[in-house]
Structure 1
Amino acid sequence: MKHMKKGSRWPVNPVVWVIVALLVILGGYKFFYPNHVEPEHTTARQSSSTKVIDVEEGSSSAKKATTKKHKHKSSKDKLWTKKQDAKLAAFISDWQQTMGQSYTGTNSGSSVTFQGVTLPDYLSTGTIYVNQQPVTMKWTTNKKDGSDYQVVAAYAGTQYLYLFTFHQQTPEVLVTSQAASDGVNFKVTENAQLVNGFQNIVNGQSESTNSSQQ
């Protein structure tokens, strides 16, 4: 029986060496960089949270800005306010005493009647003239209304009916002393104190009473 030569070894498959080398490399990488991936996840979560907050804050700010813009626009489009209407009522209360007369107004949503003409209803059903010229009138506080006159208040006494209006966005007080079956004819009042009082209320100034003209 022949004996194997001394010093001979079993051949080693090269694939085994490749596997061993890969295990050594992976083991070393894990040893030196055990937490390498974790900071990226943490950073991603923090970045995501920050973005969500930014979007929510931006949305809230946009809503506030839109609300303010809407309120500003609404007040800017108005010719007349409830506060001004109350000031006019207080002014007429003092003014009528200096005139020795008594007037009923449309403040607080009331209607007034003068010689069979009821306001504000008549503005949408009757014929109206200013200085004998037919005009269009509308009971409104909208600055963008297309009528010739925007009427914001009316005060009726036994002798006169006053309309507080805006004509081409300028405050104007009209007066009539007679209502006819074919329409009502107004003219601009000559009562300077009444005109000044209305203009001062429109402009946010104080008003005074002292006049006796129609």
Structure 2
Amino acid sequence: MRGKHAPRSTRWPIIILVIIAVILAPIIYGASSRNRTTKNQTTVSKKTSHSSISSSSSVKSSSTSSLSQSSSSSDVKLKSAWNTTKNKQLSAFMSQWQTEMNQTYSGTYDGQKPDYYGISFPTALENGRLSGHIKFDNQNTTVEWSPNANSSAKNQVLAVAVGQTSSNGYNRILYLFIAQEKQPKVYVSQTTNGEDLYFTETQNTALKDGFSQIYNSN
């Protein structure tokens, strides 16, 4: 026979605690998981932003470098078109060439002022005396004295040479060494008509080739 004060069963509180734990576990785990996801996303976002900034900086640096190289390349081309070194090379070439031709020339490449029947070069080109009086293949042509090839003119005169094909002081011959639209050309004249000078492109292969090689050299 049981007493009036028999102990109560302890199983029910334990069961209740287990049920509460089962219910709360997913909630607690889910909150923790969301926190981790948020932190990971924030970290990834920061890394992506930093990477984009670095990439943008690299692109800007590369662009600046390309522009600098392009500008440097343009400067080199401008400076190498015609310069003191090439002028000296032309002087040396003309010294050899005139010996082979058994002729004598004076040239601006030697610091001289060649005279062609009273027309002094390069003065006549600089002061406008020959403006409207130069003809290439019978066509009025504008030329400009430009010993450094830094002009925008179509026909830039880089050097002038005057020689004579006879010993009596007559039969003079005039050569213009020209950068014509950035291409080397040698024009020759042996005639005048009043103040007009008539030129044609020289047919002397050695002279043309020699000047072209100097002009196109580095």
* TM-score bracket, shorter-length normalisation: 0.5 to 0.7
Shift in Å, 1:169:
6.3
- Root-mean-square deviation over aligned CA pairs: 4.3
Matches within 5 A, 1:52-67: 52-67=53-68
Q: Is the contact made by 2:176 and 2:187 (CA closer than 8 Å) also made in structure 1?
A: yes
Unaligned runs of 5+ in 2: 1-23, 165-171
Distance 1:29 1:95, change over 3 A: same
Q: Is the contact made by 1:87 and 1:201 (CA closer than 8 Å) also made in structure 2?
A: yes
Distance 1:128 1:32 in 2: 93
Please name the residue that 1:118 is paired with. Answer: 121
Shift in Å, 1:52:
0.8
Shift in Å, 1:163:
0.5
Distance 2:139 2:47 in 1: 75
> Matched residues, percent identical?
22
Distance 1:124 1:41, change over 3 A: farther
Which of 89, 92, 106 does residue 91 from structure 2 map onto? Answer: 89
Shift in Å, 1:168:
6.7
Please name the residue that 2:107 is paired with. Answer: 104
| Letter of the structure 1 residue corresponding to residue 28 of structure 2 | G
Shift in Å, 1:191:
3.5
SS at match of 2:144: strand
Unaligned runs of 5+ in 1: 1-23, 205-214
Shift in Å, 1:50:
0.6
How many residues align structurally? Answer: 178
Q: Is the contact made by 2:159 and 2:178 (CA closer than 8 Å) also made in structure 1?
A: yes
Please name the residue that 2:157 is paired with. Answer: 151
Which of 134, 141, 161 does residue 128 from structure 1 map onto? Answer: 134
| Letter of the structure 2 residue corresponding to residue 199 of structure 1 | S
Which whole-Å deviations, capped at 9, do the CAs of 1:124-178 have from their partners, x for residues lacking one? 6112133554322234547974x4x442322244744321125576543223357
Distance 1:30 1:120 in 2: 94
